[in-house]
Amino acid sequence: MKKISVVTGLILLLLVTGILFAAEEEFKIHTSGDGKFSIPFGKSYSYTNIYIRRVIDGDTIQLENGERVRLIGIDTPEMHESNKLYRDSQKSGEDVRAIKELGERAYQFTRNLIEGKRVSLEFDVEKYDRYNRLLAYVFLKDGTFVNAEIVRQGYASLLTIPPNVRYADLFAKFYREARENKRGLWK
């Protein structure tokens, strides 16, 4: 009798493992380093026409389905207290308050550009970062390339992290032009 329950247990374990594996592909199970996972049931989301619920900061947004998206290839100044804010301050020699003010300006630019609008997301090689945020290039319905526009208008520096480098050369060109022409944060 015990043999049957052990065999039954193994079969159930294999079934559950198979279901979870299939669900990860089908339902986009998101796992994080701490072992937590979530399965967004209900509506399946098309990233070709999704609403921006809110802008979190100059380079991070939240979608209508609650997912956070980190814009690939760009980095805006921090506007909230964080370890990165203090590292950036130490590295640049800039005052923390001055960095936060620049971060607020970058946030306002991104917010005015995309909050409350429908967009399309384009992914590169890696779809998630270590914080379980989607990594994406974002496009407005009129074709505006959001990541590039933020750099072109002078509200972001470059943050190129291989293998997600599809538009790195374009961003570098826009970054140089923004600095040379003293646009956005470079005034």
For position 97, what pLDDT does the model report? 96
Domain boundaries, given as residue ranges, for the chain: 2-38, 50-186
115-167 per-position pLDDT tens digit: 999 999 999 999 999 999 999 999 999 999 999 999 999 999 999 999 999 99
Phi, psi (5° rounding) for residue 97? -60, -40
Residue 66 near residue 118 (C-beta atoms within 8 A): no
Residue 158 near residue 75 (C-beta atoms within 8 A): yes
Please state, as a whole number, how many other Cβ atoms lie within 10 Å of the Cβ of residue 120. Answer: 17
Distance of CA 41 to the CA centre of its chain: 21
Whole-prediction pTM value? 0.77
58-114 per-position pLDDT tens digit: 999 999 999 999 999 999 999 999 999 999 999 999 999 999 999 999 999 999 999
Which residues does residue 164 pair with via DSSP β-bridges, in sequence order?
A: 161
For position 30, what pLDDT does the model report? 46
At position 52, the amino acid (one-letter code) is I
For position 144, what pLDDT does the model report? 98
Residue 76 near residue 106 (C-beta atoms within 8 A): yes
Output 173-176 pairs: Cβ under 8 A, ≥24 positions apart. 174/148, 175/151
Which is nearest to 135 in space by CA: 166, 172, 164? 164
Q: CA-to-CA distance for 76 and 187, rounded, in angstroms?
A: 15
The CATH number of the structural domain formed by 50-186 is 2.40.50.90
When pLDDT is cut at 50, 70 and 90, the band that residue 46 belongs to is confident
| Of 5-14, 45-54, 79-88, 114-123, highest mean pLDDT | 114-123
For position 5, what pLDDT does the model report? 66
